[in-house]
Structure 1
């Protein structure tokens, strides 16, 4: 599986501008900084890459956005944002609406954090993993545009059935590409493994609760986004995963509905 060494991962200019303004203030509101990083999967990914680099001697140990922000501090965060600012001149990724990409990733992350509270799992790690899980789509759209364009005619990247189609046509899914990228960036190995197996958490030799949680969060957010009816969602809901996690199917389906058109800012 190919992961380009130099990637053009486009962040949202508005989020970048808000972060720069916040960090240039005399007393930055770090809670606001946390919220802004948590709303952009590309900036969050770059933050996690930096925090888990050898520079801070914390490779493979930083599991959430908040501790990463504390570890870097204001000066390092400004440097990260200036580097991201240089990437704004990169052309948009064909086939992906990046504003929509960020909204759906953010909504999935919030749902994952809610499910973590129900299951006693690490909410910070669940949020971070769900926020970043779809980065592989950007990579594939940039490195294999013709192959991806063919599959896009069959199902959108947010269709809950999309990963199975990717595995059928390519032998792997975009989630595997995400996992390969995050592994190369030294993110926690257990979180990377959960992303790797999130599409088929029941197929692993030993059930990984975090992979199961991510599976439910991703499946539900995508089904809601593409407009599946309540009946369709109930009929196709991954009951076996919910049972393995020990959560009630109705509780999962009744999680607060997402307004996909509402700005997170």
Structure 2
């Protein structure tokens, strides 16, 4: 099956709310006013309702009910709100997946994103862009779960995926980003994740691609116990060397979702 045939298998492309496209278009723009973002979110009733649900949850113990998106943004913070908007938008696009599959996939995305943000300063890239790409890189796995639930999903298997399918999950992520009309940078980075990091790539694209690949491997490795020699052999060496990492680095344990993103934990459980 070709990549084109994979997407042709959808009766309709999974929908993506317009507010997600708008938020992604503003990624890396720290100067974007809060009220502008609040207006964008307020235009989407479903996402607005979920954000207010989080802001009024027992976790935050507010004395009065929060009724406005602007108030919710002050409570949760702009970065958390952006994360929630993108997460909720992508999750809604894959509503056909059962929660037993969706939750672990999205936890993996969140952990990848957190690791990418942590490594962004050393990689010389914008931390918010790195975090957002960590969320987006797992879209291909969700598409494959919908169309080809055959287990070829682990981030250490791109070569096996290409041998069996003719494409990898990051190729699928890049194509979905293109079809959803996400900013070109996201498509370029996702495409670069699945190919050797050549000198012809712009530095920003290559650095973000390398960082996202390493972060995805680390997020996956943190869930494997024990890590066998065969698993360790899948360490993305070219990406690590590009970032100046001399050896395999793995997090000690996967961060619980309620610490990683408390607001999203309220919705995913």
What's the TM-score, normalizing by structure 1? 0.64
1:24 counterpart residue number:
67
Q: Contact 1:111–1:217 (CA<8 Å) still a contact in 2?
A: yes
1:259 counterpart residue number:
255
Q: 1:18 & 1:192 partners in 2: Cα distance? A: 28
Structure 1, unaligned runs of 5 or more: 10-14, 47-83
Per the alignment, do residues 31 and 201 of structure 1 end up closer, same or farther by CA in structure 2, a change over 3 Å counting? farther
Q: Within the alignment, does 1:166 sit opposite 2:161 as a pair? A: yes
1:212 counterpart residue number:
210
SS at match of 1:229: coil
Q: Contact 2:73–2:81 (CA<8 Å) still a contact in 1?
A: no
Q: 1:103-182 residue pairs with structure 2 within 5 A? A: 103-142=107-146, 144=147, 148-149=148-149, 151-152=150-151, 155=152, 157=153, 159-182=154-177
Per the alignment, do residues 256 and 31 of structure 1 end up closer, same or farther by CA in structure 2, a change over 3 Å counting? farther
Q: Within the alignment, does 1:35 sit opposite 2:80 as a pair? A: yes
Q: 2:255 & 2:116 partners in 1: Cα distance? A: 16
Q: Contact 2:87–2:135 (CA<8 Å) still a contact in 1?
A: no
Per the alignment, do residues 39 and 231 of structure 1 end up closer, same or farther by CA in structure 2, a change over 3 Å counting? farther
Q: 2:181 & 2:85 partners in 1: Cα distance? A: 20
Shift of 1:129: 0.9
Q: 1:162 & 1:17 partners in 2: Cα distance? A: 38
SS at match of 2:71: coil
Q: Contact 1:201–1:215 (CA<8 Å) still a contact in 2?
A: no
Q: Within the alignment, does 1:6 sit opposite 2:44 as a pair? A: no
Per the alignment, do residues 28 and 259 of structure 1 end up closer, same or farther by CA in structure 2, a change over 3 Å counting? closer
Q: 1:112 & 1:213 partners in 2: Cα distance? A: 6
Q: Contact 1:40–1:102 (CA<8 Å) still a contact in 2?
A: no
What's the TM-score, normalizing by structure 2? 0.63
Shift of 1:44: 5.1
Q: 2:244 & 2:101 partners in 1: Cα distance? A: 35
1:59 counterpart residue number:
none
Shift of 1:179: 0.9
Q: Contact 2:174–2:187 (CA<8 Å) still a contact in 1?
A: yes
Q: Contact 2:113–2:133 (CA<8 Å) still a contact in 1?
A: yes
Q: 1:114 & 1:45 partners in 2: Cα distance? A: 23
Shift of 1:170: 1.2
Q: Contact 1:112–1:213 (CA<8 Å) still a contact in 2?
A: yes
Per the alignment, do residues 259 and 16 of structure 1 end up closer, same or farther by CA in structure 2, a change over 3 Å counting? farther
Structure 2, unaligned runs of 5 or more: 17-46, 56-65, 263-269
Q: 1:101 & 1:176 partners in 2: Cα distance? A: 17
Per the alignment, do residues 30 and 196 of structure 1 end up closer, same or farther by CA in structure 2, a change over 3 Å counting? farther
Q: 1:162 & 1:93 partners in 2: Cα distance? A: 22
SS at match of 1:178: helix
